Structures are given as C-alpha cells and as structure tokens.
Chain A
Amino acid sequence: MVFSSDARWEMVDEITRQTVTYGTYKQTLGAVLGDLTVKPLTGIPVAVAALYAFWSVFTSFAGELVTDGFMVKFFDGLWLPWFQAIWPDPGSWHYFLFIGNPAADTCFEAFGMLTSGLFVSVGVVLPAVFVFYLMMTLLEDSGYLPRLAVLMDTVLHRIGLHGYAIVPIILGLGCNVPAVTATRILETKKQRFIMMTLLAIFIPCGAQLGIMMSIIPDLIGVVILCLIIGFGIFGFVLNKIIPGENPEILVDVPPYNWPVKEYVIKKLWNRTKGFLKEAVPFVLLGILLVNLLYLGGVIQGLANLFEPVFVTWFGVPKETVGPLIAAFLRKDLAIAQLSIIPMTAYQMVASVVLVTIYFPCVATFVVMLREGWKELIAAIAVLFVVVFIYGGLIHAVGILLGVA
C-alpha cells in the first residue's frame, strides 16, 4: 500500500497529535545565546572570534610549544648531528638520499629522507594536524558548524554554493580527502563540481598550514589572502559558466551540545592515526623520489625547460620545479623544500600559492577519481587554466605594487 505525500503528512500529524505533548517551553539563556550566534549582526563577530581562537590556539600549540619549543631543538641539535657523524661517506649517493647536505645546520636545509623527512612529518606537521583536528572536532561536536553554515549562506550563494558548503570547506582545511567525500551533501552536480574544484585548488590542508606557519610566519597572512581572493573570483566565474542549478536549502540547525569526551577522543585518534599511516610514508617517499630525480638530472632538465614560464610568467625562480614535483605527493613537503631556495618575499608568496593551487596531492586525486572520472578530468582542466591565469595575475599585481 502506497500513500501520497499529503496523505502521509496527514497521518504523521495525527500520530504526533496522539503521542506527543509539548510542555510549557521556557526560553533559556542558552537558547537566546544560540540565536545570537546565528543573527548576522551578532553572529559575524562571534564567527570572527571563533576563527581568532582557532588560529591562535593552532599557532601557540603547534608553533610555539611543540615545533619551536621541542622539535627544532631535538632535530637540529641532536638528531641531525648524530646522523651526520655516523653515516659513512658524505660524498656518496646514499648519503645524499638519506641524510642530504653534509654541511647543513638545520633539518630544513639537509633534505635527506631520514633528516628532513622525519622532521617535516613528525616535528612540524604532526603537531599541527593534531591540534587542528582537535579544534575541528570541537567545532563539529558542539553544533557550531551548522550555524556557521547559516551565516555563510548568502556569501556562498554568490559562488554557486550554499551555506552547507562550509562543511567540506572546513573539513578541507584539515584534509582534502574527507572533504571531497563530504561534497555529497550538496544537491546538484554543478554544486559538487564547483566545490570539488575549489577544494582541490584553493583550500590548503592542515599539514600545509602547519608547515607554512613554521617557515613563513610573516607571509602566511598574504598567502591565505591570495587563496581566499582566488576562491572568490574563480567560484564566481565557475558559477557563471557552468550550467545547472543552485537550489536554496533550509539548513537544519541542531541544538548546542557539550562535546562528548569519548567521541572527541575517538575521532581525534582516528584522524591522527590516518595521518600517521598515510602522510608520513608519503613524505619519506617523496623526499626519496625528489632526491633520486636530482641525482638523475631530471629536475635540472625540467627546470631549464620550464624556465621561461616560471621566470617570465609567474615571476618565480626556476628551481621551483623540484618542489612542484614533490607537491604531487605531499604539499607540505613541497613547501618545506621551497624554504631552502633563496627567494624574495614576493617570490616566496607566489611560489607557495602556486604549490598550493597547482595540483591536488595524490590522495585527494584518488578520492576525486572515486567520485567520478569525468568530473576529475574537467576539474584538472579547470585547474590548469586557473593556475596559469591566477599565477600570472599575482605576478601582475606584484609588478604593480613594485615588489616582483
């Protein structure tokens, strides 16, 4: 027996009438506060404050405490000198692969698999993603995320999305892999395509943010600004040129909850474990691969080949080719590699932005493939166009400002 939708609603009404009684509901302070976080006039300052707290705790914990306080001291003071002392034959190929530069003072400069590889993944990126995931979990479990969705609804409609797109964006700031899967909550193909493309291009993951914070603390604001502007511009353009609908959505706002401790711990553990299992081997392999390519002369060859594009169009040194190859495996690794190339502030910003936008890392690539190969190919086509245009645009702005 099948009913019409109206008949079903009638039955639902009747059942609720017979079974549910509503007591006198008194408004509580908590409920009023909850409303204030959704109304734009008070909600936007709260969102600004939440973002402030997020970033402040992130930099204090990952930057000041773990990386600068302990990891740098350990890796540069004990780990690196120890390896440099015991590994035989500083001129050999295996020394180059595993330890790197024999004259290096810091683990960033050495660039061997066992020195920089472990330092970048465990010393810099692990504390960053750990605290990032913790904050994100609290944001999710408290119920603030859907409220942020309500606030962002108008803005995101401009770029062909709606408030709920904030969920994949926030997840993407942790890691793009779950974010790509989370695009399933968007209704139309158009929305999913726009979201996935923008995620792959403009949203840096927690690991990237962590390494940027460690290497270019003064310039990270500029880099993020470049990414946000790019996100806005290309979202707007994609919305105009891609056919399809962008339906309105009624966001379902759940009540605020104190996060349940066990859930938070469980989720934090799962996410951190996932990072250890997948990211660390990739960073190590990435360094090995890049070093092998250096030894084989491949990177030097590619650098010479692409020199005109890099130097005249993007305004960055040709050595950036090496990091861009590493970026396919791990973007955090690529940014670490950029730090040892001598560059001006402009070149640093431009090359970090390029590394971030140029190609999704291999893990993101794989999940995007799972969501549909046609979309993936289209996304990559968009990506090449965007990298070319936006890279040139940043260069142009740099020239106009007189810094490039």
Chain B
Amino acid sequence: MTGGKTEMAVLVPERGTTVLMIGNPNVGKSALFNRITGANAIVSNYPGTTVDFTSGTFIGGGRTYTIIDVPGTYSLDPRDAAEEVAVRMLRDYPDAVVMIVLDATKTDRGLYVALEVMERGMPCIVAVNMMDAAHEKKISLDIAALQRILGVPVVATTATSGEGVRDLADMLRKAKVADIGAIAQRMRGEEPEREPAFTCGGCGGCGGR
C-alpha cells in the first residue's frame, strides 16, 4: 500500500491529493513522512535536517496522495531560508491538505504554528508525534479534548516505532477546515452552537462530529 520515491520536481497540485507536512523543527516530520510513504528522506535528531522539501506518494482508500515533507518552522513569519521554503509551499499549494505535526512534549510551540495554518482556512489534520517521549517525561495529553477543541482529526503517533501511523494515513481523507472562530469561542468558554455530541472515546474516526 505504500510506494514512495523522493524527487525534487515541481508537482502539479490536484485538489485534495497534496498533503503538506508542517510543524516545528525536529518534531519528526521526516520520520513520519518516511513511515507513510516508504521514502528515504534524511532523518536526524537535530532541528534543521530538512532544508528543502521532499515529496513522496501514498496510496490509500483508493486515492493517491502526494505527501510533501516541508522544512520545520516555528511560525509563518520566516526567520531563515529553510523556513521561507515552508511558507512558500503553503502559498504554492493553496488547495493542499495540511498535516500539522506536533511534538507531544512541546505542544504549545507547535500549536502556535498550527493556529496560523488554520487561520488560512486550509483543511487540516493534526498528528501528535513523539508520544513515547511524552510518556517517558510523564506528560499526558488528552487527544480527545484536543480534537474537540480544534474540530479537526487529531491522531497520536510515534514515528520511530510506527505507532499510530496507519491511523494517521487513514485519517487523511477526513481532514477538514478548522473553524478558527469557533475555537476562539470555545476557549472563551462560550460553546458555539451545534455542539457535537461527543460520546466516543476519541479514536479520531469521526473528526469530532
């Protein structure tokens, strides 16, 4: 089900089939990318390994996705040439699905850039990566609550062991545009109308609907 290759050619965007992986540096985007596409992006344990984008393909649910591993960025106001690539990619693929990758041990920093992406009105899906490291540091994350707040699918993953990667890949077609206004409202304690009845355990299967 996976077949990947790394190439630097410019790809023709096709609605709903391009996936951009956005997140802070060193949160394991490249490792996730390799897991999903079976490609050979270089993975290292230091921020700034990916300075150019790498693309690969993933076939799932009868659709062919082009997955693009984008250099890590702390915000969408680029600070260096590698971060500029990230911003440029978002601009060049306005119809893409954005896979926001968070580091479970440093969710706050990742959420900042996540909100910036959501403000752009692009369909999103969130991967909370490095769950193993969070577990080790005794940090626990309420994935279901995060999904309810953000209103987009949230999946917990550990790229080094491959845990949750399958779920993440299956979840790609459920990606949806986050209603940033509703998020802000929920944060102020005012529940927006059409509050979804949330009864499941938050497997992520329904995107919180």
Contact = CB atoms under 8 A, between A and B. Distances in A.
| Direct A/B contact, Cβ within 8 angstroms | yes
Interface of A: 1-3, 7-16, 18-26, 137, 140-143, 145-146, 164, 167, 181-182, 184-187, 192, 252, 254-255, 257, 259-260, 263, 266-267, 270
B160 interface: yes
B87 interface: no
B62 interface: no
A142 B43 CA distance: 11
A231 B49 CA distance: 24
A19 B187 contact: no
A19 B141 contact: yes
10 contacts: A1-B180, A9-B112, A12-B115, A21-B139, A23-B138, A25-B137, A182-B48, A184-B80, A184-B85, A185-B48
B107 A16 contact: yes
B48 A167 contact: yes
A1 B48 contact: no
A1 B117 CA distance: 11
Contact of B184 (A11, A19, A181): A11
B89 interface: no
A183 B43 CA distance: 17
Contact of B107 (A1, A9, A19, A143): A19
Given A11-B187, A23-B139, A252-B26, A181 B145 contact: no
B187 A1 contact: no
Nearest to B138: A23
Contacts of A3: 115, 119, 180, 184
Nearest to B85: A184
Interface in B30-87: 31, 40, 42-49, 51-52, 71, 79-82, 85
Contacts of B187: 10-11, 14-15
Question: Which of A1, A137, A141, A186 has most chain B Cβ within 10 Å?
Answer: A1
The 10 A-B residue pairs with the shortest CB-CB distance in the complex, in nearest-first order = A23-B138, A184-B81, A185-B48, A140-B44, A143-B45, A184-B51, A12-B111, A14-B187, A19-B142, A184-B82
B84 to A, nearest CB: 9
Contacts of A263: 31, 43
B80 A15 contact: no
A191 B85 CA distance: 18
Nearest to B120: A2
B134 to A, nearest CB: 9
B47 A267 contact: no
A9 B42 CA distance: 32
B46 A145 contact: yes
B120 to A, nearest CB: 9
Nearest to A257: B45
Given A19-B146, A141-B45, 16 more contacts: A1-B119, A11-B115, A11-B187, A12-B111, A12-B115, A15-B149, A15-B150, A18-B145, A21-B142, A23-B137, A145-B46, A185-B80, A252-B26, A263-B43, A266-B40, A270-B42
Contact of A146 (B47, B140, B145): B47
B206 interface: no
A376 to B, nearest CB: 16
Contacts of B183: 11
A254 B26 contact: yes
B108 interface: yes
B25 A252 contact: yes
A2 B119 contact: yes
B11 interface: no
Contacts of A12: 108, 111-112, 115
Given A19-B141, A254-B47, A267 B42 contact: yes
Contacts of B31: 263
A257 B161 CA distance: 13
Nearest to B160: A260
A285 B42 CA distance: 30
Interface string B140-184: 111101100110000000001000000000000000000011011
Most buried by B among A10, A12, A18: A12
Given A18-B145, A141-B44, A185-B51, A1 B25 contact: no
Given A1-B180, A21-B139, A23-B139, A8 B116 contact: yes
Given A14-B187, A186-B80, A252-B25, A22 B112 contact: no
Contacts of B40: 266, 270
A47 to B, nearest CB: 15
A229 to B, nearest CB: 28
A181 B71 CA distance: 13
